[in-house]
């Protein structure tokens, strides 16, 4: 049976190292590559994630709503804290 | 809680009408597997296309092999309570990814990030269906998830990329990564074949839901540099606290016996240790490898927090 440490190690490799391409060259050629910390010895083939170059562009441009939406529904993301309890994460309900 | 006994009107009609659960054929005559929770379908021709979407990742759950019949009434009630909460959480996650996709669209996220985020919402529909079926197995009732919509923080004054990054951190990097960790650990103690297969099916999807976040985080860091690091760092304690709120929440009544554990449950004390391990060995190392400072996270969710319930039990 796997231990909790084994489970964390698997998630470290399959999710974090693979997803963030730790130790792999940058998406953009002029950016430095983050290093892989040694805590779990994560070894993942960086080529396993098919990431393409992109040209960046203006990621900050303009107001996406163009000021044209009603105050009452200006952004569905603004629906928060209806009960005043603050942010609640999702996770998975274990018990 | 929505249930047969409490529903009225349309919901009650849907739950009680005895939906045909037999397999149906799609437009090409190909056989479709029976729906997982037919009482949660519209009763319209949309059902066939829905079935095709849900079967994108084949989930062969051996429903007939459930060992729920060997449990006591109290044990089944305990399990029904947890699967009821799971159904509600998975259903809410449908809207979580929908809202996140709005942020990502606003930030002109890469197409692969967008498609996977939208697909994640579909995956969550499938998870909710599976959980509803589990409620029926343990609770003997066909229920629907409670209506509702997820809410995510929003700051309209910040750049769109940073807004998208902040909620990706919350939803995907932290919440979904923790979900994969807890599901992985839970599967290891699950002996009931139905529960094991359901948890495996959900786990398989959550891995990509979590990886989506880490990939977008890497992308955003390269796009926005220090501004992205600052935004991510500010979100770390918020996201960790958000998940901790779930971990610390009150549990359904009933003892978690060894038999109950075999159906995919752990105790609240065990869950604290899993979250603490996830913070220490997965989340913080990952963020720090990307240059994102994590403040007091290791102390906040270290041994003292992980074993707080042990202290209560001893007292």
Mutate to test the interface with A, among B200, B219, B265 (most CBs of A within 10 A): B219
Q: Which residue has the higher pLDDT, B29 or B145?
A: B145
Is the Cβ pair A27, B285 closer than 8 Å? no
- Do residues B255 and B78 touch, judged by C-beta distance below 8 A? yes
User: What φ, ψ does residue A73 adopt, rounded to 5°?
Assistant: -150, 50
- The DSSP 8-state label assigned to residue B24 in this structure reads E
- Do residues B260 and A83 touch, judged by C-beta distance below 8 A? no
Residue A82: list chain B partners with CB under 8 A. Answer: 151
- CA B264, CA B261: separation in Å to the nearest integer? 5
- Complex ipTM, two decimals? 0.79
Closest CA to B178 of B99, B241, B104, B84: B241
Is the Cβ pair A59, B107 closer than 8 Å? yes
Residue-wise pLDDT for B113-128, tens only, equals: 899 899 999 999 999 9
Q: Any idea what the Cα angle at residue B55 is, between residues B169 and B101, rounded to 5°?
A: 25
Mean pLDDT of B19-43: 67
Is the Cβ pair B86, A93 closer than 8 Å? yes
- Do residues A7 and B273 touch, judged by C-beta distance below 8 A? no
The pLDDT of residue B66: 97
State how far residue B188 is from chain A, nearest Cα, in angstroms. 7
- CA B25, CA A10: separation in Å to the nearest integer? 39
Q: Any idea what the Cα angle at residue A58 is, between residues A57 and A63, rounded to 5°?
A: 150
- CA B311, CA B308: separation in Å to the nearest integer? 5
Residue A94: list chain B partners with CB under 8 A. Answer: 82, 182, 186, 247, 265-266, 270-271, 274
Residue B183: list chain A partners with CB under 8 A. Answer: 92
3-class DSSP assignment, residue B153: coil
The pLDDT of residue A36: 63
Q: Which residue has the higher pLDDT, B51 or B287?
A: B287
Share of chain B above pLDDT 90, in %: 68
Residue A64: list chain B partners with CB under 8 A. Answer: 105-106, 160
Mean pLDDT of B263-282: 93
The pLDDT of residue B218: 94
The pLDDT of residue A37: 59
3-class DSSP assignment, residue B174: helix
Mean pLDDT of B209-230: 95
- Do residues B61 and B201 touch, judged by C-beta distance below 8 A? yes
Mean pLDDT of A69-78: 31
Is the Cβ pair B242, A75 closer than 8 Å? no
- Do residues B103 and B163 touch, judged by C-beta distance below 8 A? yes
Say yes or no to pLDDT of B299 above 80: yes
How confident is residue B4, by pLDDT bands cut at 50, 70 and 90? very low
Residues 64-83 of A with CB under 8 A from B: 64, 74-82
Mean pLDDT of A12-24: 91
Residue B86: list chain A partners with CB under 8 A. Answer: 92-93
Buried b (16+ CB within 10 A) or exposed e, B6-45: ebeeebeebbeeebeeeeeeeeeeeebeebbbbbbbeeee
How confident is residue A5, by pLDDT bands cut at 50, 70 and 90? low
Mean pLDDT of A12-34: 78
Is the Cβ pair B223, A56 closer than 8 Å? yes
Is the Cβ pair B243, A80 closer than 8 Å? no
- CA dihedral over A77, A78, A79, A81, signed as positive or negative: positive
Tokens of B53: 């979407």
Is the Cβ pair B222, A27 closer than 8 Å? yes
Say yes or no to pLDDT of A46 above 60: no
- The DSSP 8-state label assigned to residue B101 in this structure reads H
Buried b (16+ CB within 10 A) or exposed e, B74-109: ebbbbbbbbbbbbbbbbbbbbbbbbbbbbbbbbbbb
- CA B291, CA B218: separation in Å to the nearest integer? 10
The pLDDT of residue B45: 76
Say yes or no to pLDDT of A52 above 50: no
Tokens of B210: 């979590």
Is the Cβ pair B188, A31 closer than 8 Å? no
Say yes or no to pLDDT of B33 above 80: no
The pLDDT of residue A92: 59
The pLDDT of residue A82: 39
The pLDDT of residue B179: 94
- CA B193, CA B67: separation in Å to the nearest integer? 8
Share of chain B above pLDDT 70, in %: 88
Residue-wise pLDDT for B42-87, tens only, equals: 777 778 878 877 777 667 899 999 999 999 999 999 999 999 999 9
- CA B20, CA B33: separation in Å to the nearest integer? 12
- CA dihedral over B112, A78, B178, B137, signed as positive or negative: negative
- The DSSP 8-state label assigned to residue A88 in this structure reads -
- CA A84, CA B190: separation in Å to the nearest integer? 36
State how far residue B123 is from chain A, nearest Cα, in angstroms. 14
Is the Cβ pair B214, A94 closer than 8 Å? no
Q: For chain B, how many residues are written?
A: 315
Say yes or no to pLDDT of B249 above 90: no
Tokens of B118: 């939208």
Residues facing residue B24 across a β-bridge: B32
Residue-wise pLDDT for B146-167, tens only, equals: 999 988 888 889 999 999 999 9
> How many whole angstroms from its chain centre is CA B6?
25
Residue-wise pLDDT for B75-116, tens only, equals: 999 999 999 999 999 999 999 999 999 999 999 999 988 998
Q: Any idea what the Cα angle at residue A16 is, between residues A14 and A19, rounded to 5°?
A: 80
The pLDDT of residue B46: 79
> How many whole angstroms from its chain centre is CA B270?
18
Q: Which residue has the higher pLDDT, B234 or B267?
A: B234
Mean pLDDT of B289-314: 88
Mean of the per-residue pLDDT values of chain B? 87
- CA A7, CA A12: separation in Å to the nearest integer? 9
The pLDDT of residue B210: 96
């Amino acid at each position: 049976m796997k231990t909790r440490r084994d489970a964390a190690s698997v998630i470290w490799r399959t999710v974090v190292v693979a997803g963030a391409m730790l130790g792999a060259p940058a998406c953009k050629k002029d950016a430095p590559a983050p290093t892989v910390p040694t805590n779990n010895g994560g070894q993942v083939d960086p080529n396993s994630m098919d990431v393409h170059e992109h040209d960046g562009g203006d990621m900050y441009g303009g107001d996406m709503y163009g000021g044209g939406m009603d105050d009452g529904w200006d952004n569905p993301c603004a629906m928060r804290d209806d009960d005043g309890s603050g942010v609640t994460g999702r996770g998975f309900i274990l018990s | 809680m929505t249930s047969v006994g409490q529903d009225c009107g349309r919901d009650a009609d849907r739950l009680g009408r005895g939906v045909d659960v037999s397999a149906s054929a799609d437009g090409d005559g190909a056989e479709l597997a029976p729906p997982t929770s037919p009482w949660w379908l519209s009763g319209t021709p949309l059902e066939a296309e829905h079935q095709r979407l849900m079967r994108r990742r084949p989930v062969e759950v051996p429903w007939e092999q459930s060992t729920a019949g060997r449990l006591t009434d109290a044990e089944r009630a305990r399990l029904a309570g947890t699967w009821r909460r799971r159904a509600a959480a998975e259903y809410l996650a449908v809207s979580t990814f929908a809202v996140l996709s709005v942020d990502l669209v606003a930030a002109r996220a890469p197409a692969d990030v967008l498609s996977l985020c939208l697909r994640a919402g579909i995956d969550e529909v499938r998870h909710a269906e599976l959980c509803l079926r589990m409620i029926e197995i343990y609770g003997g009732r066909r229920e629907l998830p409670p209506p509702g919509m997820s809410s995510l923080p929003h700051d309209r004054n910040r750049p769109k990329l940073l807004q998208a990054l902040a909620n990706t951190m919350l939803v995907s990097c932290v919440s979904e990564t923790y979900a994969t960790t807890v599901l992985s650990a839970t599967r290891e103690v699950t002996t009931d074949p139905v529960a094991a297969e359901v948890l495996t099916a959900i786990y398989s999807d959550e891995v990509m839901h979590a990886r989506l976040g880490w990939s977008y985080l890497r992308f955003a860091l390269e796009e926005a540099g220090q501004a992205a690091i600052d935004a991510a760092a500010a979100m770390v304690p918020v996201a960790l606290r958000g998940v901790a709120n779930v971990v610390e929440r009150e549990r359904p009544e009933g003892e978690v016996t060894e038999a109950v554990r075999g159906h995919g449950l752990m105790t609240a004390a065990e869950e604290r240790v899993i979250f603490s391990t996830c913070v220490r060995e997965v989340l913080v190392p990952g963020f720090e490898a990307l240059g994102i400072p994590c403040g007091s996270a290791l102390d906040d969710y270290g041994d003292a927090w992980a074993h707080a319930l042990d202290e209560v039990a001893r007292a």
